[in-house]
Amino acid sequence: MVTKVVHPIFLILLISVVLIACSGGETGTGATDKQTVSVGRITNFGSVFVNGVEFNTDNSTFKIDDTSAIETNLNIGMVVTVQGTVNQDELTGDATNIEYKNTVKAIVGTNNVNADGLGILTVSGQTVVMDSLTSFNSGVQSIVTPDQITTGNVTEISGFTSGNGTIYAARVDVRSQIYNMGDVISIKGLASNAGATTFTVGGITVDYSSAQLQNIPLGTISNGQFVEVKSVEGENMAGNFVASEVRFLGDGSLSLVNGTLIQLEGVVTTLVTPSQEFILNGQLVRLTDSTTFINGAASDIIESKTLVVKGSIDSNGIVVADNVLFVGTVSLSMDGIVESIDITNSTFILLGSTISIDVFTTMKDTREEGGLTLTELAAGDRLRVVVREIGLTSFIANKVERRGITNGRIEIEGRLDEINGNQLMIAGVNIDASAVNLSGMNLQVGDENIRARGTYDIPSKIFTATKVR
């Protein structure tokens, strides 16, 4: 049976579903290998890790923005579509094709992102939300941290969107200091305010008066069409995006075979029926009594939550969820020095806390723009980690980044567990704040997002704060 999915962005993310669905592979039969489409960010290499599955790539082909590529062209945080099979253990599989398409590559308007990569960029009218899971890279020597991005920089964003102008970034790349005429930049989204020579995508007006139209139904731009707009001129004096090409990417429907297995990472954009149905980047997802939840419950599904949904397409074109993982559940971030590593149990010690890694952990070596494995870590390495709590001093890492040691500064941000005069405990870490004036801060046990900066003595496991906010 062929069904229809009526959400435009899903066409972009899962354009290869038809190929897989028609390949004749068994789905949902309990066979060792299950034909699957997996859409999500790359969390590690040595194979390619997507949505908790390690995909062997020995026999895979690669594409980047419709051009043949090789595996080394991929990077941590890129949102890719993987065609292939997943083994019965649901932890390993084989990729036959991996494809990456940027969500937007365009010119920065404003930057309200801090040095930790939290905040909002505007990029050619698109609102780009960066959070603690966003991977950041810069090809511009003077831009080292996200807060240094400035108006006029060209950035490439890979992330999740429903086409309405808001993008939840999985990866942000600074490509160049300024836009050079002739370079290709692009935006994607739903057309609105369509007229004879202009239309709107997100928060920017597109001037398509001299553009080539590709696959546009009846040769006319209409409201609600999901389009890709390319430009070799950038933005004109009026602030309009000057299109050189407009390509129709979907009319809101996609033929899928009933039973196709789906692994989909995304951000919840709409609650259709609370605790029952929601939109994940344009795709309708339905929960059932047999849906299982990891790191949360059905009642925790709200707009802007990052999830990985595993399930299958039903006869109405809806993803029926077997499992829902709350990827974006973050309770603590740490910046410190590795004390010890336990390869057998997949853990390491940072600021006295035991931190575990699993197949969903994004691991990156920022010093050389590549993946990272636990076996490559060593005591003394400088790490920044974003974790979710499973015990007072035990955590699972959502993201691990190895950094060069440029200073002795140590940081921790999380929930305030105890306060006794100038002695604090944040997520199980003892903090001596004697050198800090805490008066007027009105700190209370249970306060979230309390950040302490200072030094950490490994033998005594005492964090000496020089700043608390």
Q: What is the pLDDT of residue 194?
A: 95
From 293, 326, 359, give the residue that closes a domain: 326
**Whether residue 264 sits in one domain with residue 242:** no
Could you tell me which residues are beta bridge partners of residue 86?
34, 93
Q: What is the pLDDT of residue 88?
A: 87
Please count the structural domains in the chain: 3
Q: How far apart are CA 385 and CA 353, in angstroms?
A: 12
Instruction: Quick: pLDDT tens for 134-170.
Output: 999 999 999 999 999 999 999 999 999 877 889 999 9
For 432-467, b where at least 16 C-beta lie within 10 A, e where not — what string? bbeebeeeeeeeeeeeeebebbbebeeeeebbbbee
Share of the chain above pLDDT 90, in %: 55
Rounded to 5 degrees, what angle do the CA atoms 81, 41, 165 make?
85
Residue given tokens 């709590």 in the structure block: 389
How many angstroms separate the first and last alpha carbons of the chain?
58
Strands 48-50 and 277-280, by their bridges, are unpaired
Instruction: Quick: pLDDT tens for 169-223.
Output: 999 999 999 999 999 999 998 999 999 999 999 889 999 999 999 999 988 999 9
At 392, is the pLDDT very low, low, confident or very high (cuts 50, 70, 90)? low
Q: What is the pLDDT of residue 206?
A: 97
Which one-letter amino acid corresponds to residue 341? I
Instruction: Quick: pLDDT tens for 343-366.
Output: 999 999 999 889 999 888 999 888
Q: What is the pLDDT of residue 294?
A: 86
From 308, 326, 344, give the residue that closes a domain: 326
Given a contact cutoff of 8 angstroms between Cβ atoms, the answer to whether 104 and 187 are in contact is yes
**Whether residue 90 sits in one domain with residue 59:** yes
Domain of residue 464 covers 330-469
CATH number at residue 420: 2.40.50.320
Element (H, E) at 138: strand 135-138
CATH number at residue 80: 2.40.50.140
**Whether residue 109 sits in one domain with residue 70:** no
Q: What is the pLDDT of residue 460?
A: 84
Strands 423-426 and 382-391, by their bridges, are unpaired
**Whether residue 197 sits in one domain with residue 114:** yes
Q: What is the pLDDT of residue 408?
A: 64
Nearest residue to 362 via CA among 83, 117, 24, 8? 117
Q: What is the mean pLDDT of the chain?
A: 86
Given a contact cutoff of 8 angstroms between Cβ atoms, the answer to whether 314 and 42 are in contact is no
**Whether residue 107 sits in one domain with residue 70:** no
Q: What is the pLDDT of residue 22?
A: 38
**Whether residue 191 sits in one domain with residue 239:** yes
**Does some domain include residue 253?**
no
Q: What is the pLDDT of residue 9?
A: 41
Q: What is the pLDDT of residue 146?
A: 95
Q: What are the φ and ψ backbone dihedral angles of 37, each rounded to 5 degrees? A: -110, 130
From 195, 230, 248, give the residue that closes a domain: 248
Given a contact cutoff of 8 angstroms between Cβ atoms, the answer to whether 161 and 9 are in contact is yes
- Please compute the mean of the pLDDT values over residues 41-46 and round it to a whole number: 92
Q: What is the pLDDT of residue 1?
A: 34
Instruction: Quick: pLDDT tens for 86-118.
Output: 998 888 999 999 999 999 999 999 999 998 889
**Whether residue 339 sits in one domain with residue 430:** yes
**Whether residue 84 sits in one domain with residue 121:** no
At 257, is the pLDDT very low, low, confident or very high (cuts 50, 70, 90)? low
> Alpha helix (H) ranges present in 101-199?
none
- Please compute the mean of the pLDDT values over residues 43-55 and round it to a whole number: 92
Q: Please give the distance of CA 283 from its chain centroid, rounded to a whole number.
A: 17
Neighbour count for residue 419 (Cβ, 10 Å): 18
**Whether residue 111 sits in one domain with residue 240:** yes
**Does some domain include residue 301?**
yes
Q: What is the pLDDT of residue 26?
A: 41
**Whether residue 144 sits in one domain with residue 31:** no
Which token pair is 384? 């920044």
**Whether residue 389 sits in one domain with residue 305:** no
Share of the chain above pLDDT 70, in %: 89
Element (H, E) at 383: strand 382-391
Most confident of 4-18, 78-92, 94-108, 426-440: 94-108
**Whether residue 108 sits in one domain with residue 67:** no
- Is the model's pLDDT at 120 over the cut of 90? yes
Given a contact cutoff of 8 angstroms between Cβ atoms, the answer to whether 372 and 319 are in contact is no
66: left (phi over 0), alpha (psi -120 to 50) or beta: left
